[in-house]
């Protein structure tokens, strides 16, 4: 069908601001491409927890689960914590409950957006981190053992999820290779030199690699990868990794290409997917109208593309490509958001992107 | 006493090359300062494992344990693995067996050595990562559970070690504040928003912080810190963190200031300490005479300074300061090692540093 239902979870802080901006861009875009996007906003997040004692109402979860895709702003707030000291993070519940094992975090230099590195090759940065998002160290979330004297968490790697993560990564590399006109390359990021669990992960990855003889495959230790992401990030393509490692490396990587305001993400499972900017709720700038919605616009584009791949129709893929191009063109054309030292607020981005979209 | 015994573990690959270079610089330096440094080279490492089946002979361990300080090159080799698939790493054994909880990794822009970031403030980078080095995820080393279908590791944080790590970090900040003439600042890097063990670590850290009212204290999530190390690393001072996080962040940080060839480290406990460059054995360049010994020279300087703090005498502190200054002056004077695109090999660095030391 070319009509889909999107569950929208604006969340807290700037999450609500970039959500509004994104819907304002999506609406006319959908109309122009003749695709049906019906959206339903659902309550969840830290302030909802404060008000009701429930961070993620079951009704919101059910509605999100039954939608065709989920679009999420950002959730959490520093002062609002659970009894065990950790923060409210319904986005983590979604990853676990819906089995969204592939945390896809594209890292791409956008023309006009300043890169962090001095080396001119930084302008060609274009790789994708695939953060496993349902196990690894996060398996332990809410289950840690704490006594007077010590605390423990358990990192878990399963064969089943590693196989899925690896296959997802190789397929992604194939699609990118076709688009970019060069060989695909998947590099597992692990710590197999020290931990059995990562030697296990590597062995499973290597098995799956044999199914994809057309894609180069390799491994890199996580510490060496952190170094390489500073020294030669342009050398990488698709980088699957464990949950905690991916959390760290994807923020590092975002810093290379303009920061969190330009970093989209998708948490993808076999049946469901959540699309959200990689940034948080940004308490320091919330409510000022200066949040950069680019990351969420690019996340929405990933959503349209994923819906197309699920059979929603070519219009979705076209709309995705157009939205990406419009964001790029807006920044190439001089748009400068406050996170990169400019004066353009949320509304200015919406206007500039709408103008590129021809309306 | 002003005479000390140094256990030297050259190890594998370029470990042996940078060790030789460092001893060549230390010898005349010690003589000029009237300090006694007797060194004893001890066998250990991956090639020793290959030859004998023992990566770290007990005799080497005992000799290292009874020395006043331990100077280590680098150990490990990609092809040489243990039965469980992990690599040989006697340096990890040393950390655990000698209780070297504070992995001190200074990160400082050296004049003349190119920095990675475009922002001109990168020339002022000067902070210290303090990687907890006896527990955290590495608690699980050699103990991971592996079945057909899954593998698990346990991350452990203890109150006792967190207290020591925190105190060490605050004291380090006090010394740096005195030297740099500004307030000290300690920022714990954790993931307390998601994990109880890190909420626990943060609570213990906060308790210790109250003992040091003259030092600013704060926290930062590890993902946000990875971003900040790319966006504004000049804003930080002393950064204690969990073992695995420290492993990742210290490589990232090394990349900011010229790479592993310029990154010294010290693993310090209550009674013992190991000083070693942060780099590995570099199989790709081993045996070519082009390894950069700067990181090991700077590590040796940390060793002299630590020996001075343990009562070895002012001559040690003076020699340390002179060695640091000589390395800086050599690079400021045009020395360019191959890792930063120059043509100067190991011997050229030795000559240039010796020349700065006045002979
Ligand atoms: C907010 C936080 C719980 C979350 C995470 O750690 O996964 C965030 O950092 C992310 O990367 O999505
Ligand atoms: C070689 C490896 C075992 C070691 C570690 O992981 O600690 C190294 O990366 C380090 O940082 O000292």
**Among B249, B235, B251, B258, which residue's Cα sits nearest to residue B125?**
B235
> Cβ-count burial of A162 within 10 angstroms (0-12 exposed, 13-18 middle, 19+ buried)?
buried
Which B-chain residues 97-126 have CB contacts (< 8 A) with chain A? 114-119
Q: Which CATH number fits domain A1-98+264-359: 3.40.50.1970, 3.40.718.10, 1.10.10.10, 4.10.520.10?
A: 3.40.718.10
Atom 6 in ligand 2: residue holding the nearest Cα? B247
Question: Relative to the alpha carbon of A278, which ligand is closest?
Answer: 1
Q: Is the CB of B66 under 6 A from ligand 1?
A: no
Query: Distance (Å, rounded) from C-alpha A191 to C-alpha A182?
Result: 28
| Cβ atoms of B318 and B51 closer than 8 Å | no
Partner-chain contact B87 A244, CB within 8 Å? no
**Among A20, A13, A133, which residue's Cα sits nearest to residue A71?**
A20
Query: Distance (Å, rounded) from C-alpha B339 to C-alpha B277?
Result: 15
Q: Which CATH number fits domain A115-257: 3.40.50.300, 3.40.718.10, 3.20.20.70, 3.90.25.10?
A: 3.40.718.10
Q: Is B197 on the interface with A (CB under 8 A)?
A: yes
Helix (H) or strand (E) holding B36: strand B36-41
pLDDT (tens digit, 0 to 9) for every residue of chain A, 359 residues total? Answer: 579 999 999 999 999 999 999 999 999 999 999 999 999 999 999 999 999 999 999 999 999 999 999 999 999 998 898 777 778 788 899 999 999 999 999 999 999 999 999 999 999 999 999 999 999 999 999 999 999 999 999 999 999 999 999 999 999 999 999 999 999 999 999 999 899 999 999 999 999 999 999 999 999 999 999 999 999 999 999 999 999 999 999 999 999 999 999 999 999 999 999 999 999 999 999 999 999 999 999 999 999 999 999 999 999 999 999 999 999 999 999 999 999 999 999 999 999 999 999 86
Atom 5 in ligand 1: residue holding the nearest Cα? A247
Atom 11 in ligand 2: residue holding the nearest Cα? B247
**For testing the chain A interface, which of B141, B244, B340 should be mutated: the one with the most A CBs within 10 Å?**
B244
Count of A-B CB contacts under 8 Å = 208
Residues with CB under 6 A from ligand 2: A 193-194, 223; B 76, 89, 92, 247, 280
What does the pLDDT look like over B23-69, one tens digit per residue?
999 999 999 999 999 999 999 999 999 999 999 999 999 999 999 99
Query: Distance (Å, rounded) from C-alpha A152 to C-alpha B193?
Result: 15
Residues of B in contact with A157 (CB under 8 A): 150-152
Task: Give the three-state DSSP class for A243.
Answer: helix
What does the pLDDT look like over B114-167, one tens digit per residue?
999 999 999 999 999 999 999 999 999 999 999 999 999 999 999 999 999 999
Query: Distance (Å, rounded) from C-alpha A63 to C-alpha A48?
Result: 17
Where are chain A's structural domains?
1-98+264-359, 115-257
Beta bridge pairs of residue A69: A6
Dig out the tokens for A333 from the structure.
């054309």
Shortest alpha-carbon distance between residue A116 and chain B (Å)? 6
Give residue B138 CA to ligand 2 midpoint distance, Å: 10
Q: How far is CA B13 from CA A72, B74, B121, B281, B290, in A?
A: 49, 7, 35, 5, 12
Query: Distance (Å, rounded) from C-alpha A178 to C-alpha A245?
Result: 28
Please indicate whether the domains covering A1-98+264-359 and A115-257 agree at the CATH topology level: yes
Q: Is the pTM of this model over 0.75?
A: yes
Dig out the tokens for A262 from the structure.
């330009």
Beta bridge pairs of residue A39: A6
Q: Whole-angstrom distance between the N-terminal and C-terminal Cα of chain B?
A: 26
Instruction: Give the chain B residue whose CA is nearest to the CA of A82.
Output: B193
């Amino acid at each position: 069908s070319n009509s889909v239902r999107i569950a929208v979870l604006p969340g807290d802080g700037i999450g609500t601001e970039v959500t509004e901006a994104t819907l304002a861009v999506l609406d006319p875009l959908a109309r122009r491409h003749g695709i049906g996007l019906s959206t339903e906003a659902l309550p969840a997040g830290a302030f909802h927890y404060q008000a009701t004692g429930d961070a993620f109402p079951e009704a919101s979860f059910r509605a999100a689960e039954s939608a065709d895709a989920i679009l999420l702003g950002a959730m959490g707030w520093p002062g609002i914590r659970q009894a065990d000291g950790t923060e409210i993070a319904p986005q983590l519940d979604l990853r676990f409950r819906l089995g969204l094992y592939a945390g896809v975090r594209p890292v791409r230099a956008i023309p006009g957006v300043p890169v962090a590195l001095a080396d001119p090759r930084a302008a060609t940065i274009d790789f994708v981190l695939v953060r496993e998002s349902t196990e690894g160290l996060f398996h332990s979330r809410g289950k840690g053992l704490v006594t007077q004297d010590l605390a423990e968490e358990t990192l878990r790697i399963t064969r089943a999820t590693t196989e899925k993560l690896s296959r997802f990564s190789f397929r992604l590399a194939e699609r990118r290779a076709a688009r970019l006109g060069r060989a695909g390359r998947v590099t597992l990021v692990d710590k197999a030199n020290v931990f059995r669990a990562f030697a296990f992960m590597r062995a499973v990855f290597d098995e799956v690699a044999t199914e994809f003889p057309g894609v180069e495959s390799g491994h890199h230790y996580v510490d060496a990868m952190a170094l390489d992401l500073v020294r030669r990030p342009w050398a990488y393509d698709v980088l699957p990794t464990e949950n905690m490692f991916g959390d760290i490396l994807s923020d590092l990587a975002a810093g290379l290409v303009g920061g969190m305001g330009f970093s989209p993400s998708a948490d993808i499972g076999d049946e469901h997917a959540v699309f959200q900017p990689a940034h948080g709720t940004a308490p320091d700038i919330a409510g000022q109208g200066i949040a950069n919605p680019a990351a969420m616009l690019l996340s929405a584009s990933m959503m349209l593309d994923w819906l197309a791949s699920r059979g929603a129709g070519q219009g979705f893929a076209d709309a995705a490509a157009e939205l990406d191009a419009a964001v790029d063109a807006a920044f190439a054309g001089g748009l400068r958001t406050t996170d990169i030292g400019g004066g353009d607020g949320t509304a200015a981005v919406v206007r500039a992107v709408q103008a590129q979209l021809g309306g």
